[in-house]
Chains A and B, each alone.
Chain A
Amino acid sequence: MVASLAVLLAASGCSVAGADPIGGGPDTLRIVLPEEPPTLEPCDASLTATGRVTRANITEALTEREPSTGRLEPALATKWTRDSATSWTFTLREGVTFHDGSPFTAAAAAFSVKRATDSGIDCNVDGYIFADSELTATPVDDTTLRVTTAKPDPILPLRLSFVEIVPTSTDPDSRVREPVGTGPYRIDEWNQGRYLRLKRFPGYWGKSPDFAAATYVWRAEGSVRAAMVTNNEADVAIGLAPEDGAGDRAVEFATNEVSYLRMDATKPPLDDIRVRQAVNYAIDREGLVTAVFAGRPTGQLVAKGVTGHNPRVRPWPYAPERARGLVAEARADGVRTDITLTIIGRNGIYPKAAEAMEVVQDGLIKAGLKVRIKMLDVNAWLEYLLRPFPAGDTGPTLLQAQHGNQAGDAAFTMAQIYGSEGAQSSYGTDALDTLIERAQLASGGKRQKAFADAFAHQNDKVVRDAVMANMTGLLALSPKVRYRPDPSTNDEMRLADMRRAD
């Protein structure tokens, strides 16, 4: 037996242990992620695991949204104008080269738009950003690009901040794992399953970043990621929870993720607005963010900085007496408050997901409702999140959910979550649908106001959700690095923003 094992070992040949990939001296930034990027395909950059490595590091877009202000800034396009309701002209930056030495031109921009939105690749960006809108990009000359849309689209330049620009030599019909881009870093070596190394691109058009190279590794366990920073094996660890033990190396930051409970307002007793208001009053949001997860109580699904965020929509106060009163009032009017509500939870949706739902359950029971909890894994939970909802009678449900608007405009929240026909919507009203449609066609200040009104209307008149908190993210930094995370850090982690501390 022993001998045969020795033979097995010898036969297994290539060794797992190699040179230390995550070393590389003081010029290398070492980053530990929760998961390996499945691919670096630029048109899947809206996938968090891919985008956090690709976007603004390897590839760039025509425009770039400043996460803290929400303003749209020039990137590979220096300016843009709206010629008509359905046509835009982009002036492109000159003197930009791709990592393979080829020049960036309007032809490459047009090619990239077509590849991401109208090819057989099934790009994630297409589904996430463009859904069913049609657009055509045409090079006018080397530095001018015209983009036309089938329907008027006031936020087209924002949408294009998700289209990563690749050279025309990129395969147009299938995914590429290792793309060529114009970004400050290029791919050096990807040893699958082990590490991914990027190195500084000397021909970059902008300011050269501080670190000569960046090595990414991945560990599924948060406490191990945190330990890697305290143990000086990594400089940046992301996706941490407070209990992961990053100690004084931890940095907190506001994310664009908002946790909420979606109420199934089509079934009694949740079809009565008083019961839905009671649910909101019965949740101790302050208690949740002090004792269960990190965040700040909020009353709407989009965070500050997203177009449409309404500063006047406040988080619901914790008022157990009012909650009890509303339930009693509904019961007196014949509402079936004795029907058991089911909280459909999702394990790991955020730290201590199950405990959070227990806190909610406790509040609702005190308000006079009957509540049970069903915690599911992500796939089973998705069946409840998305239409068509599971057949069979689960009774009235409260769905534990979380929404992160990474695009920066309420259009990416409203219709799909609050529209009567939205993919993630359990209930809507005609009045709210009208407000959403109006907002989607507006631009500038009118757009901000129209979406803000829609959020206020949802909160006052519809009350379909119990919005809980704008979640706080946590990462750990080694003494070597200065970095200020922003709300989009989880989706786009710009290496150029990471500075040497010495």
Chain B
Amino acid sequence: MLTLLRRRAVSSVIPLLVVVLGVFFLARLTGDPANLYLPLSATPEMRAEFAARNGLDDPLISQFGDYLAQVAHLDFGESLRTAQPAGEAVLRAFPATLQLAGWTMLLAIVGAVVIGSLAAYRPNSATDRIASFLSSTAASVPDFWIAIMGVLVFAVTLGWLPTSGTSGAAAWVLPVATLLIRPFGVLVQVVRGAMVSALSAPYVKVARAKGASEPRVVFGHALRNAAAPALTVAGDLAVGLVNGAVVVETIFGWPGIGKLMIDSVLQRDFAVLQAAVLLTALAIFALNILVDLCHGLLDPRVRQRAAA
């Protein structure tokens, strides 16, 4: 297990560096932030001063070197927009997204296991067809549209929920539901597929013959074997939540890292963008490692391969 962990950590360093490098240079290819931060009437001297003060007049390579040296000291630079440390802004926003994504995945997984198992229990029954239809719809609905419709229906028309914001439990419903809908739809189908084949496997027949109760057969024996593929997909879906978080946080005014990222892209706020991407990449690598560990726990063959 530890070998696996170590190996994964080492193999994550290169992609992480590529991400940092890519964001750094791509961000700078998209135009001069001075155009956004200085008035349109600014003189050339003002532009030169702005570039000098923010270290944007050095060659790109030396800018990058300086940046890496800074990051080594855990200094992520200063936001152009707010003149605050970029690291602070990112750390302030991160928990909000983590909680949103955490609840979303939790509900998506629990819901998908229940519904997917029910659908798989009697393939081609009415339950199965309804579940399949709804889940494939859910998997393909654009989140932006769902978010706006949710506001119109549940907040404006029915008045059951607040339109947006973060105050009170009711404010969680629309953002979580919007973010949930795609991973939930995909997972139901994955769980269903895996359960259908697991339920027809020989060991299920053996368990039934031994007189195990039906729930125990489904949620004990079969689900344990169906969990591995579902877990892999769930990991990928959790990574995909970064995209969803941008949309959901922007619409609902959720102060998370998705909103921060999109704002810093639009505002050419390099330091904040770099810090946000770095932290997100780290979180994704950590998540992947976590998924692998769970895999190992579920599937002895993975453990043997890792130890070999």
Q: Interface residues, chain A, CB within 8 Å of chain B? A: 1-2, 4-6, 8-9, 12-23, 35, 38-39, 41, 46, 120, 122, 124, 126-128, 131-132, 174-175, 177, 192-194, 217-221, 223-224, 227-228, 230-231, 233, 377-380, 382-383, 385-386, 412, 416, 423-424
A131→B82 contact, CB < 8 A: no
- Asked if B208 lies at the interface with its beta carbon under 8 angstroms from chain A, I say no
Contacts of B95 in A (CB 8 A): 12-14, 16
With A and B bound together, what is the CA distance between A416 and B83 in angstroms? Answer: 28
List B217-260 residues whose CB lies under 8 Å from chain A. 227, 231, 234, 250-255, 259
Partner of B39 from the list A4, A5, A127 (CB cut-off 8 Å) is: A127
Partner of A8 from the list B39, B43, B53, B98 (CB cut-off 8 Å) is: B98
Whole-angstrom distance between the Cβ of B276 and the nearest chain A Cβ: 13
With A and B bound together, what is the CA distance between A377 and B267 in angstroms? Answer: 11
State whether A382 and B31 are in contact (beta carbons under 8 Å apart), knowing that A17-B169, A17-B171 are contacts in the complex: yes
19 pairs, CB–CB < 8 Å, chain A vs chain B: A8-B98, A13-B95, A16-B95, A17-B168, A18-B166, A19-B167, A35-B263, A38-B81, A39-B83, A46-B39, A122-B49, A127-B43, A194-B255, A219-B164, A223-B151, A223-B152, A227-B163, A231-B155, A380-B30
Contacts of A379 in B (CB 8 A): 30-31, 35-36, 268
B35→A386 contact, CB < 8 A: yes
With A and B bound together, what is the CA distance between A122 and B263 in angstroms? Answer: 22
State whether A12 and B102 are in contact (beta carbons under 8 Å apart), knowing that A39-B83, A221-B250 are contacts in the complex: yes
Indicate the member of B99, B110, B166 with the most A CB atoms within 10 Å. Answer: B166
Whole-angstrom distance between the Cβ of B302 and the nearest chain A Cβ: 14
Contacts of B216 in A (CB 8 A): none
CB < 8 Å A-B pair total:
164
The residue of chain A having its C-beta at the shortest distance from the C-beta of B255 within the complex is A193
A131→B43 contact, CB < 8 A: yes
With A and B bound together, what is the CA distance between A17 and B175 in angstroms? Answer: 13
Contacts of A4 in B (CB 8 A): 290, 294
- Asked if B281 lies at the interface with its beta carbon under 8 angstroms from chain A, I say no
Indicate the member of B30, B35, B53, B163 with the most A CB atoms within 10 Å. Answer: B163
With A and B bound together, what is the CA distance between A445 and B98 in angstroms? Answer: 62
- Asked if B201 lies at the interface with its beta carbon under 8 angstroms from chain A, I say no
Whole-angstrom distance between the Cβ of A347 and the nearest chain B Cβ: 11
B164→A8 contact, CB < 8 A: no
How many residues of chain B get a CB closer than 8 Å to chain A's CBs? 65
The residue of chain B having its C-beta at the shortest distance from the C-beta of A413 within the complex is B41
Whole-angstrom distance between the Cβ of B100 and the nearest chain A Cβ: 8
Contacts of B31 in A (CB 8 A): 379-380, 382-383
Contacts of A131 in B (CB 8 A): 41-43
The residue of chain B having its C-beta at the shortest distance from the C-beta of A385 within the complex is B40
Partner of B109 from the list A2, A128, A412, A423 (CB cut-off 8 Å) is: A2
State whether A231 and B163 are in contact (beta carbons under 8 Å apart), knowing that A12-B95, A221-B148 are contacts in the complex: yes
The residue of chain B having its C-beta at the shortest distance from the C-beta of A9 within the complex is B102
Further pairs besides A217-B253, A233-B162, A386-B40: 19, Cβ < 8 Å:
A2-B106, A12-B99, A14-B95, A22-B165, A38-B82, A126-B46, A127-B43, A128-B41, A177-B84, A192-B92, A192-B255, A221-B250, A221-B251, A224-B252, A227-B151, A228-B163, A233-B163, A233-B165, A382-B35
Contacts of B22 in A (CB 8 A): none
The residue of chain B having its C-beta at the shortest distance from the C-beta of A126 within the complex is B46
The residue of chain A having its C-beta at the shortest distance from the C-beta of B262 within the complex is A220
- List 6 tightest A-B contacts by C-beta distance, closest first: A193-B255, A128-B39, A379-B31, A382-B35, A127-B39, A20-B167
